[in-house]
Amino acid sequence: MKKRDFLRSAGVGTAAAVAAVNAPYVKAQQKSTIKWRLQTYAGAALAEHVVKPAIDSFNKVANGEMVIELYTSDQLVPTGELFRAMQAGTIDAVQSDEDSMASPADVGVFGGYFPFSTRYSLDVPVLFSQYGLAEIWKEAYDEIEGVTWLSAGSWDPCHFNTVKPIRSLEDLKGLRVYTFPTAGKFLAQFGVVPVQIPYEDAESAVVTGQLDGMAWSGITEDYTVGWADVTKYFLTQNLTGAWIGSFFANTASWEKVPPHLQELFRLAMDSSHYYRQHWYWGGEAHLRTQGTKLELTSIPDDEWATVELAAKLFWDEIAETSERAGKVVEIFKQYATVMENAGRPYRYN
């Protein structure tokens, strides 16, 4: 290269460099933060355990790309209207059982406490992950416009906590209890009077004598939300070993979330499911043995066996409501047979 050509090229490069240095600084445009409103079925005290730790972690790790605002029971809309509000986009996501929020899905009857469908909390993730319930739930909600089912997990068992002791089936007659629609329908044949009211009103309804108690939770929840302060007795037999609840999202809201944040939310849901597994499992045993507020009572095993028998007939009735419901009931039956044949520690019957 000739000397003058080199100097000419160097001059062009120098001018470009100087221009770049002197150019005004332009800040890269940041994407706007995605904001969701998620409402849980749980009241404020219970939400501190069943969902808030996972949402707090999600918000922290999302690092400003997405923020989920958490609302507790009935804060934005009544629990019975949660499904429609999510479908309409009034709220972006929901954590609830289907029974409470009036899901129109034909599998909705199994959300919450479906009598004797589970014995232990681990039954729920096994049924969804290994026995096909996850695929069935996805199929069911894919048929409903505007709602995406995301994940199911287990909560606590369903026991009675009451102001009157329950020591026989006779004691159930006329008992006014706060409970879930499907559980209430089943229990009505034993004389129970099921009552559906807002979650946060249940305690005051017991205090004022409108209710005799709840058939809604395990003993951990009774102590956590204050129900152990207004009732006296806890029935050791349970209607179901674990509540089935799920996370749902408005489909349009979910589709606006980029894949990496969708995956992060899936991890947050798994974290929530794991937390509840140990919180409830340990809490149930601890408060039965160390709790001082509720006296434990039991119904004789031979009497309680009639309740379990009635549940099998109830299953068959529900199985007739739709082909998909029949598939779910058949899975419950298959699973129960496997667990019973496996013996201890899976089943002690």
**97 and 230, same domain (yes or no):** no
Boundary of a domain, candidates 271, 290, 309 = 290
- Contact of 76 with 66, CB cutoff 8 Å: no
**276 and 232, same domain (yes or no):** no
**81 and 38, same domain (yes or no):** yes
Residue 25 lies in a domain: no
Residue 299 lies in a domain: yes
Residue 22 lies in a domain: no
* Structure tokens given for 349: 């019957």
pLDDT digits (tens, 9 = 90+) for 5-26: 544 554 545 444 444 445 454 4
Q: Which of 26-40, 125-139, 155-169 has the lowest mean pLDDT?
A: 26-40
**38 and 118, same domain (yes or no):** yes
Residue 181 lies in a domain: yes
The predicted model scores a pTM of 0.88
80 to each of 4, 9, 272, how far by Cα in Å?
A: 84, 75, 23
Q: Which of 15, 152, 171 is nearest to 97 (CA)?
A: 152
Q: How many domains does the chain have?
A: 2
Residue 314 lies in a domain: yes
pLDDT digits (tens, 9 = 90+) for 84-137: 999 999 999 999 999 999 999 999 999 999 999 999 999 999 999 999 999 999
pLDDT digits (tens, 9 = 90+) for 256-292: 999 999 999 999 999 999 999 999 999 999 999 999 9
Place of tokens 């806890």: 234
Cα radius of gyration (the chain):
26
**90 and 131, same domain (yes or no):** yes
**Could you give the residue ranges of the DSSP H alpha helices within 122-258?**
123-130, 133-142, 181-187, 202-207, 219-225, 251-255
Residue 216 lies in a domain: yes
**38 and 148, same domain (yes or no):** yes
Domain residues for 97?
34-155+241-290
Taking the C-alpha atoms of residue 338 and residue 334, their distance in angstroms, rounded to an integer, is 6
Within a 10 A sphere around the Cβ of 99, how many other Cβ atoms? 25
* Structure tokens given for 121: 């909390």
Q: Beta strands 93-96 and 193-195: pairing type? A: unpaired
CATH code: domain of residue 188? 3.40.190.170
**Which pLDDT does position 2 carry in this prediction?**
52
Percent composition of the chain: helix, strand, coil (DSSP 3-state, to 5): 50, 15, 35
Residue 187 lies in a domain: yes
